[in-house]
Amino acid sequence: MNFQDKVAIVTGASSGIGRATAELLAAKGASVVLAARRADDLADLVAVIEKAGGKASAIQTDVSRADDVERMVAHSIEVYGRLDIAVNNAGTEGVLQPITEIADKDWDQAINTNLRGCFLCIKHEARAMLAAGNGGSIVNVGSVNSFLGFPGGTSYVASKHGQIGLTTSASAELAPQGIRVNIVCPGIIKTPMHARGRAALGDDVYDNMLASQVHLQRAGEPGELARTIAFLCSDDASYITGATLTPDGGYTLTM
């Protein structure tokens, strides 16, 4: 996978899968626009990438805000002159509550970040790619909960299910113009979000779930997801669009 002379945007780049993906794309030659809400963490990642010999620029972004997303894409064009790759990874687990108890604002927060945010990113990223006329690759980051529900996860699950429909529709529209759109739906990965899940469930319950429901009997590493995403971004995946890849260690096969 060679991304020399390519420009990529990675949202949710401040930690977890987004950070690992940004570091990998930069290591493979891409100039990377790092987007997230936590400006200090983005500045730290820019320093890490530049120290390793890569190119990166940060822009504080809330993907649920249309003006932020538009500014993020404009930043890519202003700094690097183009946009070839977009990884729409920003997301939140929201507030986990019974459907009869969840507040409207908590529903809106999950939907606005995970689904509206993904829509806004595709909209503005695709505009830039279409204007340049060079095609491109967009990878959305969903979850195994893009097809599996769980008690208390109404807003999160609904937002993640919606991302699959968004991905397949965007692919149908954009692929004839050379822009591939795919989605990766990871399982249990060692990220801050899943650390919060472990804390909520307790170590015994969490470890038993890994042993009994994940074929590989372990959580995945962010770097493993980064390599899957980078593959979809690359020319090696030139005939893959509208696809759902599920790097979950076999978790969904036990459901």
Q: Which helix (H) or strand (E) covers residue 79, if one does?
A: helix 66-80
Beta strands in 12-123 (DSSP E): 31-36, 55-60, 85-88
Going by C-alpha positions, the residue among 116, 163, 160 that lies closest to residue 138 is 163
Query: Residue 221, class by beta-carbon neighbours within 10 Å (0-12 exposed, 13-18 middle, 19+ buried)?
Result: middle
Catalytic member of 156, 206, 239, 251: 156
**Cβ neighbours of 139 (radius 10 Å):** 26
Residue with tokens 């507030």: 95
Based on the residue annotation, tell me whether 156 is a catalytic residue of this protein.
Answer: yes
Residues with catalytic annotation?
A: 156
